């Protein structure tokens, strides 16, 4: 899989290949029910299961879920611990099921800040499912778009310092190849639940031409019907990538 814009389809009613979701609103969902935020995160895991199933059934190639941002460490210690524990138990419970369903699991983000045990589980889940060919499920954990850019720069600069790369060779494609998403197509459809209309340091580079969709639904309430509504909105849009609408309609350009 390559990431270049050349692979993108313009509007032709086609399905998104890659759907990327900021799963926001778990805390508010619980607070509305006068329950602790933890209850919302647990409900959030159930919504994840449903949406993974729905995406697999719809033959979407890649689903990326933003599970924990590089800024979420700023939350109260108790909430961070709870999220880590939930991450661990969910992995323990779900990897076999993902594997049985031919789903490939991947993680993006800086995993060095997670416990050894969690890092092992993550690596194990990736290895166990690496040859699966249905949906690729990408979990963004301790992920930040700025972190991703920074670690790409680091790799590129290391190569330059080692004399393996000349400065003139730095192109968009080369930067793509060093991002954590190097082998994943760019997201076609971005969904953010929870009503906020911001990107919160999600895939900053990769979202350049992604169609954005915001819904006030809180993540635990986001279901297959809500996903279908987002996909219907996507299908009704004309992606132009800088061209004119006429060029696209008359197929005067190959995207
Ligand atoms: C998203 O829900 C889950 C994570 C960030 C881990 P929130 O916990 O941000 O829920 P709200 O936005 O406070 O309602
Ligand atoms: C974004 O949600 C991160 C995840 C869903 C993992 P946040 O709730 O952290 O975003 P902000 O702080 O409202 O921008
Ligand atoms: Mg939030």
59-112: pLDDT as tens digits: 999 999 999 999 999 999 999 999 999 999 999 999 999 999 999 999 999 999
The answer to whether residue 133 sits within a structural domain is: yes
Give CA–CA dist 150/161, Å, rounded.
16
Catalytic residue among 6, 7, 12, 24: 24
Q: Report the separation in Å between the CA atom of 4 and the middle of ligand 3, taken as the mean of its atom positions.
A: 31
Q: Is 12 a residue of the active site?
A: no
Testing ligand 2's pocket by substitution, the residue of 67, 72, 194, 204 carrying the most ligand atoms inside 8 A of its CB is 72
Q: Which of 4, 47, 5, 187 is nearest to 108 (CA)?
A: 187
**Cα 223 from Cα 59, distance rounded (Å):** 17
Is there a domain that residue 83 lies in? yes
Ligand with the closest atom to the CA of 219: 1
Q: Produce one character per residue of 172-209: b if its CB has 16 or more CB atoms within 10 Å, e if not.
A: eeebbebbbbeebbbbbbbbbbbeeeebebbbebbbee
Among 18, 16, 45, smallest CA distance to 29 is for 45
Give the C-alpha distances (Å, rounded to integers) separating 118 from 80, 129, 146, 205.
14, 17, 23, 28
Half-sphere exposure of 222 (CA within 13 A, CB side): 30
Quick check: is 176 in a domain?
A: no
Q: Alpha helices of the chain — where are they, by DSSP H?
A: 26-32, 37-57, 77-100, 116-129, 145-161, 172-178, 224-235, 245-249
Q: What is the pLDDT of residue 12?
A: 61
Is the Cβ atom of 69 under 6 angstroms away from ligand 2? yes
Task: Judge whether 154 lies within some domain.
Answer: no
> From atom 3 of ligand 1, which residue's Cα is the shortest distance away?
24
Point out the least confidently predicted range of 12-16, 208-212, 222-226.
12-16
Cβ atoms 141, 109 nearer than 8 A: yes
Per-residue pLDDT at 6 exceeds 60:
no
Report the alpha-carbon distance of residue 31 to residue 195 in Å, rounded: 15
Q: Give how many domains the chain has, as a whole number.
A: 1
Ligand 1 midpoint to CA 253 (Å): 42
Domain carrying residue 13 = 5-144+186-254
At 2 the pLDDT is 39
Burial class of residue 101, CB neighbours in 10 A (0-12, 13-18, 19+): middle
pLDDT value at residue 153: 97
Q: What is the CATH number of the domain that holds 86?
A: 3.40.1180.10
> Across the chain, what does the average pLDDT equal?
95
Residue 224 covered by a domain: yes
Ligand nearest to the CA of 198: 2
Separation of CA 97 and ligand 2 centre (Å): 28
Q: How far apart are CA 109 and CA 197, in angstroms?
A: 22
Residue 157, in any domain of the structure? no
Check pLDDT > 70 for residue 7.
no
**CA 164 to chain CA mean position, Å:** 31
Residue at token pair 């499912």: 129
Inter-axis angle of helices 116-129 and 77-100, nearest 10: 20
Model confidence at 21: pLDDT above 50: yes
Looking at the domain assignment, is residue 81 inside a domain? Answer: yes
Write down the pTM of the prediction: 0.95
**112-164 pLDDT tens trace:** 999 999 999 999 999 999 999 999 999 999 999 999 999 999 999 999 999 99
72 is catalytic: yes
Catalytic residue among 5, 72, 132, 201: 72
| pLDDT tens figures, 158-172 | 999 999 999 999 999
């Amino acid at each position: 899989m390559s990431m270049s814009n050349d692979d993108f389809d313009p509007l032709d009613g086609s399905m998104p290949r890659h759907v990327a979701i900021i799963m926001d609103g778990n805390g508010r969902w619980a607070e509305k029910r006068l329950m602790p935020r933890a209850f919302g995160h647990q409900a959030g895991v159930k919504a994840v299961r449903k949406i993974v199933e729905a995406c697999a059934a719809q033959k979407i190639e890649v689903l990326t879920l933003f599970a924990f941002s590089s800024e979420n460490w700023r939350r109260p210690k108790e909430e961070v611990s709870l999220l880590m524990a939930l991450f661990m138990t969910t992995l323990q419970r779900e990897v076999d099921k993902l594997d049985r369903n031919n789903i490939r699991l991947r993680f993006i983000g800086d995993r060095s800040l997670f416990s050894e045990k969690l890092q092992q589980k993550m690596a194990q889940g990736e290895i166990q499912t690496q040859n699966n060919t249905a949906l690729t499920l990408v979990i963004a954990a301790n992920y930040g778009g700025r972190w991703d850019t920074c670690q790409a720069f680091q790799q590129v600069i290391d190569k330059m310092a080692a004399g393996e790369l000349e400065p003139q060779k730095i192109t968009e494609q080369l930067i793509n190849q060093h991002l954590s998403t190097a082998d994943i197509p760019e997201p076609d459809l971005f969904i953010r639940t929870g009503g906020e209309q911001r990107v919160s340091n999600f895939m900053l580079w990769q979202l350049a031409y992604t169609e954005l969709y915001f819904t006030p639904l809180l993540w635990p309430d986001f279901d297959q019907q809500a996903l279908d509504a987002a996909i219907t909105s996507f299908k009704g849009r004309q992606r132009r990538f800088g061209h004119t609408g006429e060029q696209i309609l008359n197929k005067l350009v190959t995207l």
